[in-house]
Structure 1
């Protein structure tokens, strides 16, 4: 038995969960042992109350995702039976004739919080390690252990919706304010004592043992489904959801439907509706993709799968940041936030101080919102030293160069300042495209040279792409990896190539958008189809943001390096850039406008001459082809990166494409997408696109090989 059962002299039973493995989880072991506990509680004489506690650091980790991933259509009935059985046991516990209390000593997310919800009273340790919530939607699922129904009935639709539809995780104080829990304790050792005290205090209160929604005359807070206000709220939520997900994510829509049903149905019927909805979601490709990447893949990446195993931890103490522009100032901010001393250097003190002012502005906002004290702000700012002096960099154990994408400039700076590093110090280049091996040619110690590619804006983007050059040592890689985690970012590791993985793959999205435009497709349709596959922004709009002028200069740099056509024919791209930038002065949003013109009120519209330049009213491509062209170009490039060793793992590719370039969430990443789309089907679609639109859609050999493997396994 993995649940310790102890009854005290007052008739209160404490059930302490201590399941096999590192965490308590809702798996077969839980179902068996919790069922036995409920049997015993129902038969217990002199029972006055029950406390549910945990012997683990995490109170309860939720459902076993290995079980969920393994569900296939032919096993759906078996899964449904298990789900109904588990919820039946939880309902029996909920209807015990004595008060029950959850003593929450650690994180209780998903199924863990659903277990708390079946208790009459919830007390949590007020500590940063404790998180509460129902994040299943972020994995393409819904809370299927009663979470949707119970939270809706307890809080009301409007208050419950954000926690269900957005998967919000909250600290104990926020959970208390929201009504998700009832009490806090400062010392976790007092949890069970406090829980027992509540039971004793309520021994004469018959309602203490009955859930609010099981009490006679109970009304849902805020109103039920017949309330005009709630009808309007549900209708509004439906419209907002459609706009946000574009119909590509089934889980939020299912959650909304179950929550609406919970407003009109009794608890037990609503729980059955919820079970059916979860069962339907488990077999969707979206859920398979999202679980694979956002749970298993992300855990593998953050767990250091790509980090050299035999290199000790490399903590960054003093960081030099060269260039106080948009990227450099962001790097300085996130590093100072992580407690690192930062030397922010630019060519003038004025420029360096302007870079530091960026951090001050962000920190002031945190103070205004009550997320940081004035003293805390001042302490963080004190870690950033703006300077124009080379000598201030002396003793840095890591220097990150973040200057303009020009190889000669980067070589010059490396040669000039590399000597300021401490013994064994590492030099990192923040570049989005330039090969690290060639950049390292300007270094006296290329083994200590590594690429560290940040994404803009640095303070918001969660990913860092670490690039390993031909001579980059394991120590340099480990240093970059550990620094990335030190500043609370997710690191992926790739091998050297022009554009690496993220820029190279993202470039195909821009290129295909430009090709569609040049073929005569309406520019609004091009961008709408980009958003239609789940990209955050259409290819033309995002090209304006990243700047066609910068792309033109980058291509000039590549040409000087002799690698302009190394990973694809960009002829049409160059032609369009020359037409827009050179002939018409349309370099992008920050250069006065590009494909779009930008108005003072913040709105934008297609630049009218664009229609004369490219639009052909007689061109009518199938929308399915436009969507697949925009998606498959990226998928094919990602597979090529994996095939040629630029990507070291599928997981790095999937996490990198989602967190770095905004690949559609429903795909689970550009490589994971093919797993559920089907390799044989993918090969067939590539061949059709290649026949219709050109060899850039030719199937990568790795996809052909995997298709053959899948066919062999099926046979």
Structure 2
């Protein structure tokens, strides 16, 4: 429908011959901020385009990021202005143009101060009795060429397709559809071309990828960012002074994003030198921002002034919120919690950034457990959008409301989960790495494991991400879990791999330059350690890529479903958002619950049972999934009532 409206604006609904002879009523676009998606398509349908000379100016098509393509002429007008190569780079990635690039590519005709944009557009209209889009003129040719017989265009398509599929692993049909729109649209007239675009748009909309991505990455994400998880009846609060305990990588990152949001941050560590080093982290980020023109020196200096390094607990007394990010050891956390409570106000909330230790247990070190909560960040804090908020058994809704208000202040995406060891993200993410380790132990080729992980849609393979997290950390967490659970601890097939790598071989991961990968000191690219085969011999019969992909994806999805069944997860929307933004669960699936729905719950249970029989009980599907399969339910459609359960159901 928009295609027809924009085309009518562009042509005046005139017959082609009349249009080419007389032109049509001129339309000019005046843009002083963002023009994205349909807004950019409207701009392109105008005959003249004026934009503001502003660093905030953005023009682009983000549709591919939710599994779609521009559906109102964007795949046809942009390449006819810029050439196919430049248009492909923009539309297949969703990255917007700034004003300077848009001018350079000929997308817009004029750039002016923001307060003159409308006047400039009016001036052009007044002096133009008629207008005609370039592609409606006789003899129009694509910049750089187009069509099946144009050598330059053919080379562009070969290269663009190869680069796109390297990034997407054929998991995102929108990318292929966009390139098809370029190719097919380039060998026909414009009106036929936009009908081709509409055909591909509807095909994407009818498939599973776009609806899943739109629901998780757009609708549900926006909902939680606008406060859908916040308890009602509590006045919104603003954190003005944050107490940050621990100036290591996580603490320094939290201090930076909080100061960037306008808060004063008391950054405390055991020694002043450590606290100062934590502030230096922010200083380096500010200097990088200044050098790239993303922040002024004045704003950067003001940000740094808001971070107050200290080794004195008394400096915490006027803080509105405390966040602890010290070493993952219960005795250390107990010590800093007690010292902090002795100096802060009697109504101040205390939050822990622990990634694995149960919040309810840590809250025992605080005399007001109803005001103790988990606020789990992801590293690097300045780049990772997700924050996992964990409710302890006694955490009250007023405390949750404040935690969500703080997360909103720093412009992060929150999910709220209930307490358990590893919570939701750490627990489920760990299964991806552990399954990779288990397969190495079985003799599966490590290169096959890594490539299968990426082909399944994960950002990196399980062995690579295990090295980044640190294998010795997995060992320490495993030992702590074994100690805490005692006889209830269920050994993992990955335990032997971790034991061998850490205790026997002292290969801890990237942190000491050797793990499943080798990290050359000369800075050359990392590569898989050939010695893995000496300690974990390759099996004669190797599994298929699809088998490895299934093991990795199904194992994660099963653990996510268990978290939902146990009440760790409050709703499946948070489960999908947390998986995608927390550890990179294949975004094209929409998240683990969307993945199960798309596969079909009955088929998923059948596949899980097959894997359980072949590889062990960790693949056994929870009873929840069996019940859903029996009742022909899904998480987001027929069984929508299962998509949300009462808080603290566990």
Q: TM-score, normalised by structure 1?
A: 0.83
1:301 and 1:181 mapped to 2: Cα distance?
A: 36
The alpha carbon displacement at 1:35 in A equals 9.9
The yes-or-no answer on 1:664 pairing with 2:586 is: yes
1:524 and 1:156 mapped to 2: Cα distance?
A: 38
CA contact (8 A) 1:152 1:262 kept: no
> Structure 1 residues 152, 700: closer, same or farther in 2, change over 3 A?
same
CA contact (8 A) 1:141 1:281 kept: yes
The alignment partner of 1:240 has SS state of: helix
The yes-or-no answer on 1:113 pairing with 2:34 is: no
The yes-or-no answer on 1:319 pairing with 2:242 is: yes
CA contact (8 A) 1:524 1:606 kept: yes
**Which of 185, 192, 196 does residue 273 from structure 1 map onto?**
196
CA contact (8 A) 1:414 1:443 kept: yes
The alignment partner of 1:563 has SS state of: helix
The alignment partner of 1:319 has SS state of: strand
The alignment partner of 1:371 has SS state of: coil
In the other structure, the counterpart of 1:399 is: 322
**Which of 629, 637, 641 does residue 551 from structure 2 map onto?**
629
The yes-or-no answer on 1:569 pairing with 2:569 is: no
The alpha carbon displacement at 1:328 in A equals 0.9
In the other structure, the counterpart of 1:296 is: 219
CA contact (8 A) 2:468 2:509 kept: yes
The alpha carbon displacement at 1:164 in A equals 0.6
The alpha carbon displacement at 1:711 in A equals 6.1
The alpha carbon displacement at 1:417 in A equals 1.0
2:339 and 2:60 mapped to 1: Cα distance?
A: 52
The alignment partner of 1:476 has SS state of: helix
Residues 421-436 of structure 1 correspond to what in structure 2 (within 5 A)? 421-436=344-359
In the other structure, the counterpart of 1:249 is: 172
> Structure 1 residues 565, 223: closer, same or farther in 2, change over 3 A?
farther
CA displacement, residues 602-644 of structure 1 (integer Å, 9 cap, x when unaligned): 3223323311221233232233222111000110111111111
**Which of 13, 17, 27 does residue 100 from structure 1 map onto?**
27
CA contact (8 A) 1:336 1:384 kept: yes
The alpha carbon displacement at 1:241 in A equals 1.0
The alpha carbon displacement at 1:139 in A equals 1.0
> Structure 1 residues 571, 691: closer, same or farther in 2, change over 3 A?
closer
CA contact (8 A) 1:396 1:420 kept: no
CA contact (8 A) 2:386 2:413 kept: yes
The yes-or-no answer on 1:212 pairing with 2:134 is: yes
CA contact (8 A) 1:300 1:651 kept: no
1:269 and 1:96 mapped to 2: Cα distance?
A: 20
Residues 161-176 of structure 1 correspond to what in structure 2 (within 5 A)? 161-170=88-97, 175-176=102-103
CA contact (8 A) 2:6 2:72 kept: no
> Structure 1 residues 39, 334: closer, same or farther in 2, change over 3 A?
closer
The alpha carbon displacement at 1:513 in A equals 1.1
CA displacement, residues 671-709 of structure 1 (integer Å, 9 cap, x when unaligned): 111122111221222222222222222222222233334
1:108 and 1:240 mapped to 2: Cα distance?
A: 27
In the other structure, the counterpart of 2:511 is: 590
CA displacement, residues 120-177 of structure 1 (integer Å, 9 cap, x when unaligned): 1234567788753211101111112110110110121232223211112456666455
The alpha carbon displacement at 1:517 in A equals 1.2
In the other structure, the counterpart of 1:64 is: none
**Which of 611, 622, 625 does residue 533 from structure 2 map onto?**
611
Moved more, 586-595 or 487-496: 586-595
The yes-or-no answer on 1:581 pairing with 2:477 is: no
Residues 411-450 of structure 1 correspond to what in structure 2 (within 5 A)? 411-450=334-373
2:315 and 2:157 mapped to 1: Cα distance?
A: 59
Aligned length, in residue pairs: 633
CA contact (8 A) 1:654 1:670 kept: yes
In the other structure, the counterpart of 2:438 is: 515
The alpha carbon displacement at 1:109 in A equals 2.6
> Structure 1 residues 565, 477: closer, same or farther in 2, change over 3 A?
farther
In the other structure, the counterpart of 2:476 is: 553
> Structure 1 residues 565, 175: closer, same or farther in 2, change over 3 A?
farther
2:7 and 2:48 mapped to 1: Cα distance?
A: 22
The alpha carbon displacement at 1:534 in A equals 1.0
2:575 and 2:41 mapped to 1: Cα distance?
A: 33
1:710 and 1:499 mapped to 2: Cα distance?
A: 31
Gaps of 5+ in 2: 640-650
The alignment partner of 2:592 has SS state of: coil
CA displacement, residues 297-329 of structure 1 (integer Å, 9 cap, x when unaligned): 212221222111211112111111111111111
Residues 467-482 of structure 1 correspond to what in structure 2 (within 5 A)? 467-482=390-405
Moved more, 431-440 or 313-322: 313-322
CA displacement, residues 494-513 of structure 1 (integer Å, 9 cap, x when unaligned): 11010000000011111111
CA contact (8 A) 1:555 1:564 kept: no
The alpha carbon displacement at 1:179 in A equals 3.8
CA displacement, residues 64-109 of structure 1 (integer Å, 9 cap, x when unaligned): xxxxxxxxxxxxxxxxxxxxxxxx99x99xx971111234476543
CA contact (8 A) 1:153 1:262 kept: no
In the other structure, the counterpart of 2:648 is: none
**Which of 56, 60, 63 does residue 133 from structure 1 map onto?**
60
The yes-or-no answer on 1:334 pairing with 2:260 is: no
CA contact (8 A) 1:349 1:387 kept: yes
The alignment partner of 2:244 has SS state of: strand
The alpha carbon displacement at 1:221 in A equals 2.7
In the other structure, the counterpart of 2:606 is: 684
> Structure 1 residues 236, 661: closer, same or farther in 2, change over 3 A?
same
> Structure 1 residues 565, 543: closer, same or farther in 2, change over 3 A?
farther
CA contact (8 A) 2:6 2:45 kept: no
The alignment partner of 1:395 has SS state of: coil
**Which of 149, 152, 159 does residue 86 from structure 2 map onto?**
159
The alpha carbon displacement at 1:469 in A equals 0.5
The yes-or-no answer on 1:466 pairing with 2:389 is: yes
In the other structure, the counterpart of 1:122 is: 49
1:135 and 1:583 mapped to 2: Cα distance?
A: 49
CA contact (8 A) 2:169 2:455 kept: yes
**Which of 648, 658, 661 does residue 570 from structure 2 map onto?**
648
> Structure 1 residues 128, 370: closer, same or farther in 2, change over 3 A?
closer
The alignment partner of 1:166 has SS state of: coil
The alpha carbon displacement at 1:42 in A equals 6.3
2:84 and 2:389 mapped to 1: Cα distance?
A: 44
**Which of 59, 65, 71 does residue 144 from structure 1 map onto?**
71
- What's the RMSD between the two structures over aligned residues? 3.0
